[in-house]
A and B are shown apart, each in its own frame.
Chain A
Amino acid sequence: MNNIGVLMTCPMSEYLENQLENRFSLFKLWNHSSPKPDFLKTHSSSIKAVVGNTKIGADANMIDSLPNMEIVASYSVGLDKIDLGKCKEKGIKVTNTPDVLTDDVADLGIGLALAVLRKMCACDRFVRSGNWINGDFGLASKFSGKSVGIVGLGRIGSAIAKRAEAFNCSISYHSRSKKPNTNYKYYSNIVDLAADCQILFVACALTEETHHIVNRKVIDALGPKGILINIGRGAHVDEPELVSALLKGQLGGAGLDVYENEPNVPEQLFSLENIVLVPHVGSDTEETSKAMADLVISNLEAHFKGMPLLTPVL
């Protein structure tokens, strides 16, 4: 398959790069930065597959520039950077990496909630600053037993629920429709969910409907004692409203893994002690990165051997 052209959109995994180089003719988009359209034109006929991620996927322009594209194998579970409509129209297959990263994202969600409520990062800063000799840190807030609300009860949302239950948290959720086979309390309206819980986790897919699903109304309903944990997409949350609410103490705290304009994070947040900020690392563990890469490779190999895809979306 060494003559099959595969385009990788940006650096995402050295391991994946090596694996792709061993099997295919690999083009790295970031090595041909100017001008991209020209590069794509020159090599377009040999590129049959695109490997993208949450930063750069396969938008309409790219799809149009690659007439022989057969498959997009995304190194992510989220598909918001792929023009699915266009892919469907052109018969381009799409695969992602579900399941392998579910645990990691859920673990991070709970880790962020613990870090916010127990002020772990602020405590760590306190110790490292040498200030402990001048007096104790002060009180934090208990995590166990708090009421948890989850937006999106898919794989990741369910994994969060399972973990939170071990901390004696009560679980309720909002999603497009009520899920059968669960005892968790369902809210058809996200504002009602926010009003009724102390920790709100965003764990749904980003679509047109869920853009800014956490808006000012939801933030106000969550309130000065409420915590928002976003391990979905930055665009799920109205970021300016979130920042304003946090600065004014109208929201109790937030743990964020994603932002509207990564890698830019609103700097007004940097002075706050009741928030935790991490750089989109939801699935960034050694084990999962390798598993995701292996899944991308397996999907590509299956496709080019005419065998069934492992994790097709389209």
Chain B
Amino acid sequence: MADKEPQQPEELPIVLVHRLPSFKIPSDPSFRDQLRSQFHMLDPHESPEPYDSFLARHAPFIRVLMTIGPSPISAEFLERLPVLELIVATSAGLNHIDLPACWRRGIVVTNASLAFAEDVADCAVGLLIDVLRRISAADRFVRGRLWPVKENYPLGFKLDGKRVGIVGLGSIGSEVAKRLLAFGCTIAYTSRNKKQSVSFPFYANVRDLAANSDVLVLCCALTKETYHMINKDVMVALGKDGVIINVGRGSLINEKELVQCLVGGEMGGAGLDVYENEPNVPKELFGLDNVVLSPHCAVMTPESFEALEQLIVVNLKAFFSNKPLVSVVSNE
């Protein structure tokens, strides 16, 4: 049987590439080939035609769009795409997308959580071990040539028996739980709704979770409801030895109050991958040994990007063949 002729782009299903000019489709050649051979990728920034007329001309045919990084999608933008049914996002966090507007229109949104979950969970666990066992501080101590000089190095804290409260038990939170159980931690969680299939104790609000935890791990989405959910009240409830790990979004925490608590010695420590005003990080934290700082790189591994590319192709193919999608973001 003769090989199938490569289809003309015009015959392939259409996918709009939505991106701020500074963001690009991942450059991995095999990913671009997979996309271009199966879909007609429409990228307004690659056309000489002005953006608005390009979009208006193609809008009647755009059922799917792929959004690159934090390129925003507002309700107004959605109005320009009257037949849009699916948004394939390339990040786990979706605070740059007006999700309620999408859901009102019946537009399905998929994100990268499934592709990123393991790497983000690894980062969260790594940060927690680092804070409790002072790994980065100890590394500084050794590289600073202090070991021969200072006999004793401050003790850290055990993981076994620590009560870990997970804020947001989605794909990332579940992977965090699975890992920390192996270290002898106990798990409890808070979430918009109690998860019926999960046996971990559920707390309806984060303050109660904090009052019953030694560690809080933030794995939830940033929304109007979760903005600054970790405030002074919660930190006080967590207690003087409490540790907060944030791999969600910086604004989940009232950063000013966090810095005050840490600098004032009112908290055990913190491991942070995200901040309210990246790439700016409060300088007051730089002198603290019980704080570990990471530059929003929880997903920065080649493996997670490969997984994301696969996830995108899978979802685009599934949509056009009426098969079930994965990593769908719902209102639950």
Contact = CB atoms under 8 A, between A and B. Distances in A.
B141 A279 contact: yes
27 contacts: A111-B129, A114-B130, A115-B126, A115-B139, A118-B122, A118-B126, A118-B301, A120-B130, A120-B292, A123-B293, A132-B278, A137-B295, A139-B300, A139-B301, A141-B302, A143-B122, A144-B118, A144-B122, A163-B182, A262-B147, A263-B147, A279-B141, A281-B134, A281-B153, A285-B132, A285-B157, A286-B158
Interface of B: 118-119, 121-123, 125-127, 129-130, 132-136, 138-143, 145, 147-148, 151-153, 155-160, 178-179, 181-184, 278-281, 286, 292-295, 297, 300-304
B214 to A, nearest CB: 12
Interface of A: 11, 103-104, 107-108, 110-112, 114-115, 118, 120-121, 123-128, 132-133, 136-145, 162-163, 165-168, 262-265, 267, 270, 276-279, 281, 284-289
A124 B137 CA distance: 10
B279 A278 contact: no
A145 B156 CA distance: 28
Given A127-B281, A144-B121, 8 more contacts: A110-B183, A111-B129, A115-B139, A126-B295, A143-B126, A265-B147, A279-B138, A281-B153
A277 B138 CA distance: 7
A287 B157 contact: yes
Contacts of A287: 157-158
Given A279-B153, A287-B157, A289-B155, A140 B300 contact: yes
Contact of B295 (A127, A139, A166): A127
Contacts of A145: 118, 303
Given A107-B183, A139-B300, A286-B155, A132 B129 contact: no
Contacts of A277: 138-139, 142-143
A166 B157 contact: no
A118 B147 CA distance: 25
B129 A107 contact: yes
Nearest to B302: A139
Given A11-B151, A144-B118, A285-B158, A111 B126 contact: yes
B61 to A, nearest CB: 36
